[in-house]
Amino acid sequence: MTERRDPASMTREELTAYVREQGWPAFRADQIFGWLHKKHVQDPEEMKNLPGDIRAALKQEMLTTEEWKHLRSKEDGTEKFLFRLYDGQIIETVFMPYHHGNSLCISSQAGCRMGCRFCASTIGGLVRNLTPSEMLGQVYQAVNITGKRVDSIVVMGTGEPLDNYDNLIRFLHLVSDPEGYGLSLRSITVSSCGLVPKIRALAEEGLPITFALSLHATTDEERKSLMPVANSYTLKETLDACRYYFDRTHRRVTYEYSLVKGVNDSEAHAGLLAKLLEPMHGHVNLIPVNPVEERDFKQSDAESVQKFKILLERKRINVTIRRSMGRDIDAACGQLRRRAMLESNAKE
């Protein structure tokens, strides 16, 4: 990893200490923080009220998130960005306009080591964690490029957020800082495949975010066949951690359930899912699985998805079906990034 100090990943207190360490006047910290987190500037040369020597020093330290490719869906206005990082890694970010506001799905890692079989993000494994500034950079660049405010964030892109725990927590504090972007924590959702100790640690943070568990199965054996994390943590342990999260935060947990044709979308599966979640304070988000070239999973048909939803509702389970957005631009997680990295490596 880089030896740079990365000012955009520093809290205001840390940035103040850094400025003093450099021998600069203390008020420069507020100026730098404002340029980074209110005006979303990545090039210190644009920080016009800073002396040239400070701009030069910052240029040596800062990491950049550069636009590499930008696609816009003709179907629903979804916009997908590929951003190139300082070391050549490419990450995905998806901007989704809804009638209630604009949502941004960001990545937390370059690659992923969780190995979920229905996900393109994990093919090729984990390269490295993203820094807080690289997570923030996706938000700020999306705002700069679209000219629209991001009203909510879902940390559901490439990577397992809780596998990059410390950087995730720092990102949450920075993006919600009232002197910076100032996004309400209640407008942020963090999704995890189920790293039980980290779910419990997240509950202790006292942050009013929404937590989403990638569940996707109704038995331990089925979950193991889809998600290697299930070899480490049983369904009982995972749901107990979710119950603990609710007890500590009083924030309802979302349970994501990807429907795979002939694998987990039967009437029996709906009954088992309802039984599992009946005692939980939560919400089920049904997700017709996105086809992945390297996998043989198929998406459940619309009739099966609706039937599954109705069966859960009859058991008084709160449930919605996730709207599929940006299908014509490969907006599903991991697909475009993988193709882009293969093309980039081939050129090199």
Q: Which of 28-37, 74-83, 206-215 has the lowest mean pLDDT?
A: 74-83
Amino acid identity, position 285: N
Q: Which of 41-45, 119-123, 197-201, 283-287 has the lowest mean pLDDT?
A: 119-123
Residue 175: how many CB atoms within 10 A of its CB? Answer: 24
Token digits for 236?
């009982």
Q: Give strand pairing partners of 128.
A: 110
Q: What is the mean pLDDT of residues 185-193?
A: 98
d(CA 22, CA 8): 16
Residue 261 near residue 224, CB atoms below 8 Å: no
- In the annotation, is 333 catalytic? yes
Amino acid identity, position 207: L
Phi/psi of residue 112, each to 5°?
-160, 145
| This prediction's pTM | 0.92
Give the percent of the chain with pLDDT over 70: 91
Q: What is the mean pLDDT of residues 203-208?
A: 97
What is the fold, at CATH topology level, of the domain defined by 68-347?
Answer: TIM Barrel (3.20.20)
- Confidence (pLDDT) at 347: 54
- Confidence (pLDDT) at 289: 80
- Quote the strand ranges of 99-183, DSSP E: 101-105, 109-111, 126-129, 152-155
Q: Say yes or no to pLDDT of 294 above 50.
A: no
- Confidence (pLDDT) at 336: 61
Phi/psi of residue 106, each to 5°?
-115, 160
Residue 161 near residue 173, CB atoms below 8 Å: no
Residue 75: how many CB atoms within 10 A of its CB? Answer: 13
The active-site residue, picked from 105, 116, 193, 333, is 333
Chain-wide mean pLDDT for the chain? 92
* Among 153, 159, 152, 150, residue whose Cα is nearest residue 130: 159
Cβ within 8 Å of residue 195, ≥6 positions away: 160, 162, 163, 229, 233
Find the angle CA(54)-CA(57)-CA(61) to the nearest 5 degrees.
130
Residue 82 near residue 340, CB atoms below 8 Å: yes
Q: Spell out the CATH class of 7-61.
A: mainly alpha
Higher pLDDT, 104 or 329: 104
The active-site residue, picked from 79, 92, 134, 256, is 92
- Which sequence spans correspond to the domains of the chain? 7-61, 68-347
Residue 111 near residue 121, CB atoms below 8 Å: yes
d(CA 223, CA 258): 12
- Confidence (pLDDT) at 247: 96
Q: Give strand pairing partners of 283.
A: 254
d(CA 215, CA 227): 9
Positive or negative: CA dihedral 47, 48, 53, 59: positive
